[in-house]
Each structure stands twice: as structure tokens, then as C-alpha cells.
């Protein structure tokens, strides 16, 4: 999924990115559906948990989590992992990969 957000860095300067988010879930293939997870459900969950919270918003101003910690790619990726981990079936989130630019990615696993 792609979304866009802004933030203020340590110097107080405001910047922003088009973020690319890749979510990997793992689990057994349901013998009936042949799927690990219904991608429509995953997409809706990502829209609700991530896009609705962050797209076209400021991490620094609109997200309480960043009131007392700097909004770096690492802290943002850790927040996304915990939000998705709480919303997905227990233990099914394997990894998220957040890419603020084409030259930088942050991966979070359990």
C-alpha cells in the first residue's frame, strides 16, 4: 500500500514522503479456501489501521504516539507493526517493510 504523510524532524523542519508499506502474513493454508488470509480482509484492515490514521496527515501533529518520541522511519515502522499485529489474527503478522524513499527501507519482525 502507498500513502503520504508529513513529519517534523529533530531540527523542527517539516518534510514528508510517499511511503510504501509491504505487509507479510504467515500461516497455514485454509484447506477450504486455499488461502492463508483473504486479501480483501487484509486490504480493508490496512486501510482502516494505517491509511485512515496516517494518509495525508502529519505524524508529529496528528499522532499521539509521536508526542514523546521522534518520528523516524524506525519508530514509525515499529508503530505500524504493533497496530497491524493487534488487528490481525494472533501471531499471523510475519513482517512489515516500510519504505519512505526508494533508497531506504525499515523491516520489523517479531
Partner 1 sequence: MIRVIQRYDFSAAHVLARPEWTSERNRNVYGKCANPAGHGHNYRVEVAVEGDLDPKTGRVLPEGMIDALVESRVLRPLDGKFLNRDVPEFVQVVPTAENIARHIWDTLAREVTPARLASVRLVETRNNSVEYAGDEELV
Q: Which of 2, 11, 13, 6 is nearest to 61 (CA)?
A: 6
Q: Between residues 78 and 87, which has the closer beta carbon with respect to partner 1?
A: 78
Positive or negative: CA dihedral 32, 35, 40, 41: positive
Q: Between residues 92 and 105, which has the closer beta carbon with respect to partner 1?
A: 105
- Would you give the binding string for partner 1 spanning residues 49-88, x where CB under 8 A is met? --------------------xxxxxxx-xx----------
Q: Between residues 23 and 77, which has the closer beta carbon with respect to partner 1?
A: 77
Residues that bind partner 1 (CB under 8 A): 10, 69-75, 77-78, 102-110
Amino acid at each position: 500500500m502507498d500513502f503520504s504523510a508529513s513529519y517534523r524532524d529533530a531540527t523542527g523542519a517539516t518534510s514528508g514522503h510517499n511511503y510504501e508499506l509491504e505487509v507479510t502474513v504467515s500461516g497455514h493454508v485454509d484447506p477450504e479456501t486455499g488461502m492463508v488470509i483473504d486479501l480483501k480482509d487484509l486490504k480493508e484492515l490496512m486501510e482502516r489501521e494505517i491509511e485512515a490514521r496516517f494518509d495525508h496527515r502529519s505524524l508529529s501533529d496528528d499522532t499521539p504516539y509521536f508526542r514523546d518520541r521522534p518520528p523516524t522511519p524506525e519508530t514509525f515502522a515499529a508503530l505500524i507493526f504493533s497496530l497491524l499485529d493487534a488487528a490481525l489474527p494472533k501471531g499471523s503478522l510475519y513482517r512489515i517493510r516500510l519504505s519512505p524513499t526508494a533508497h531506504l527501507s525499515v523491516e520489523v519482525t517479531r
